[in-house]
Structure 1
Amino acid sequence: MGVSFSLLIPPISATPPPCPGIVDLPENCVASVMTYLDPPEICKLSMLNRNFRIAGYADCIWESKLPTNYELIIERLFENFDENLCKRDVFALLCRPILLDDGSKKVWLDKRTGRVCLSISSKGLAITGVDDRRYWSRIETAESRFKSVAYLQQIWWFEVDGEVDFPFPVGSYSVFFRLQVGRSSKRFGRRICNCEHVHGWDKNPVRFQLSTSDGQQATKQCYLKEPGKWMYHHVGDFVSSGSEVSMKVIFSMAQIDCTHTKGGLCVDSVLICPREFMQMSKRF
């Protein structure tokens, strides 16, 4: 009796079967989830296991992270482009700063958002009197994205102009001049600021101007302050509403009151980035 009754009771397993977890999700489910993540998060998840790694290379995921006009941007940036690259590799390639116009400009995608950013060096700007060593000099520095800046010692007529023609994806963009009052250097391993030539910037404000090929305009004025600190001075904003054509953006800064001289200013570059990137010191 006891033996026959014991046959009705299933044996107790020493180790219960494992419950399915996130690593057991099929590739198509993983890919669907990844479309809602930003690129760094996708790359982290791709390291979990083989299914996640395969899903992390799906073109449908990475095409949604690329600008809508990425093919036009590639055409603008590259003479010879490998069309066999998967979309993930295309995204990774565009996230690296790419030189443009003889190295005077750099273009890249923000790794988190896939938005276009563009920087123009001081060598790509039209600076009044920049070739006259009595007024200006070129300084090599690791503090610049382009490894050099234009340094103003003293001048009466201060004016810097620039322009860029680029197929900006649809969206709002801001333009900034990256400037520093004073000349920074290192002494005994410590960063110091030389303010020997700094003068004239407290007399009158600098005027910043912006215009686009479709008629948008902006004007701002501000005094240049805080010696020894790189500052992003906001010129203005513009909106790109058609990503299938290039937009020309023209910008300038000037302080042309000839009643006094001004000097001691480092001109590094101009930055064009998505409008929502307002925390310059954290992102650039």
Structure 2
Amino acid sequence: MALTESEAVGLIYALPEECIAGVLSFTSPPDACRSSSVSTNFRSAAESDAVWESFLPPQYKSIISRSADSSSSLCFSSKKELYLHLCDHPLLIDEGKKSFWLEKRTGKICYMLSPKDLLIVWMENPYYWRWTSLPDARFPEVAELIDVWWLEIRGKINTCMLSPATLYKAYLVFNLSGSHNGFVNLPIEAEVGGHSRTVFLDAKQGGVRVYNPRAEMGYCQALRWREEDGGRPKKRGDGWLEVELGEFFNGGDDDEVEISVLEVKAGVCKSGLIVHGIEIRPN
């Protein structure tokens, strides 16, 4: 004999909390939160450590252990509190060279590589770059460009550090000082995982020419590009700018993804770039 709708609903309400928690662990954090309004049993299951432990990445304890704050400020009464904290408060790890957090909707791993975790050509020369501390920066120090012709920034990340079966995008997070020079409509070559694209570090739209005053034969070499070939930076909620460098899919293999930002062709003197880091987060 078939059950009526009300009888079926009654059976769901009568399910043991452990069964409900087992089902919710296969959903998502938003789904678990919404299910809290179904019944008291569902609310209790949706708040349980068993459910929120399943939303945390398998290696979260190992990642947290790499932070100086792992023993003191990360003690919470529930796994849900820990999850939400890791979503809203990026954690400095690896001696402050990386920042780790979770995407709130999915629980997938995100990182930002600090300038000290990147290869910045000429960084060791105080005539070209300098370390500076800013109150709105995530890291103790960020890199400020004083004056270079050759701009080259490189980073890398192992895919085993990231969430599997996930499409990731890489972003340069930066600002331009009030006295910046050389970046207006200057095409920058960005590369992620062997795939390159042109980006710009200024928000001004419209293609123009960039001249090379050091070109041979005493004349200026004009570099042209189509505006649609390049990405423009966007303002973030934290006040910094970001520009998308490219994307890659993490299929779960143990691979190393290389990321680069390069401008060495235009012969333009550049200054005033403040590099916060390279951010890697799910698409």
Query: What TM-score, normalized to structure 1?
Result: 0.65
- Secondary structure of the residue that 2:279 maps to in structure 1? strand
- Secondary structure of the residue that 2:268 maps to in structure 1? coil
Match of 1:173 among 168, 175, 187: 168
Residue 273 (str. 1) matches residue 268 (str. 2): no
Aligned length: 229
- 1:117 Cα shift? 0.8
Distance 1:145 1:76, change over 3 A: closer
- Structure 1: which amino acid aligns with 2:116? K
Deviates more, 1:91-100 or 1:44-53: 44-53
Give the aligned CA root-mean-square deviation in angstroms.
3.7
- 1:101 Cα shift? 2.2
- Structure 2: which amino acid aligns with 1:61? V
Match of 1:235 among 245, 259, 262: 245
- 1:202 Cα shift? 3.5
Distance 1:32 1:260, change over 3 A: closer
- 1:105 Cα shift? 0.5
Match of 1:124 among 103, 117, 121: 117
- 1:46 Cα shift? 5.5
Match of 2:65 in 1: 78
The answer for unaligned runs of 5 or more in structure 1 is 1-20, 184-193, 212-216, 276-284
Distance 2:63 2:21 in 1: 30
- Structure 1: which amino acid aligns with 2:45? A
Distance 1:90 1:199 in 2: 43
State the identity as a percent.
Answer: 28
Match of 1:139 among 132, 135, 143: 132
Question: Is the CA contact 1:139–1:148 (under 8 Å) kept in the aligned structure 2?
Answer: yes
CA deviation string 1:88-141 (max 9, x = no partner): 466456545333322111122112221111111112111112232222222322
- Secondary structure of the residue that 1:264 maps to in structure 2? strand
Distance 1:78 1:146 in 2: 18
Question: Is the CA contact 2:49–2:80 (under 8 Å) kept in the aligned structure 1?
Answer: yes
Deviates more, 1:29-38 or 1:89-98: 29-38
- 1:54 Cα shift? 2.9
- Structure 2: which amino acid aligns with 1:221? T
Distance 2:173 2:113 in 1: 10
- Structure 2: which amino acid aligns with 1:218? H
Distance 2:138 2:34 in 1: 28
Question: Is the CA contact 1:157–1:258 (under 8 Å) kept in the aligned structure 2?
Answer: no
- Secondary structure of the residue that 2:126 maps to in structure 1? coil
Distance 1:147 1:155 in 2: 24
Match of 2:182 in 1: 200
Distance 1:199 1:94 in 2: 37
Distance 1:262 1:52 in 2: 58
- Structure 1: which amino acid aligns with 2:258? I
Match of 2:264 among 256, 271, 274: 256
Distance 1:44 1:30 in 2: 13
CA deviation string 1:55-91 (max 9, x = no partner): 2344553355344xx14x5445537999xx9764664
Distance 1:105 1:246 in 2: 19
- 1:178 Cα shift? 0.9
Match of 2:221 in 1: none
Match of 1:103 in 2: 96
Distance 2:269 2:30 in 1: 49
Question: Is the CA contact 2:186–2:201 (under 8 Å) kept in the aligned structure 1?
Answer: no
Distance 1:75 1:44 in 2: 30
Question: Is the CA contact 1:142–1:148 (under 8 Å) kept in the aligned structure 2?
Answer: no
Match of 2:203 in 1: 226
Distance 2:64 2:23 in 1: 32
- Secondary structure of the residue that 1:178 maps to in structure 2? strand
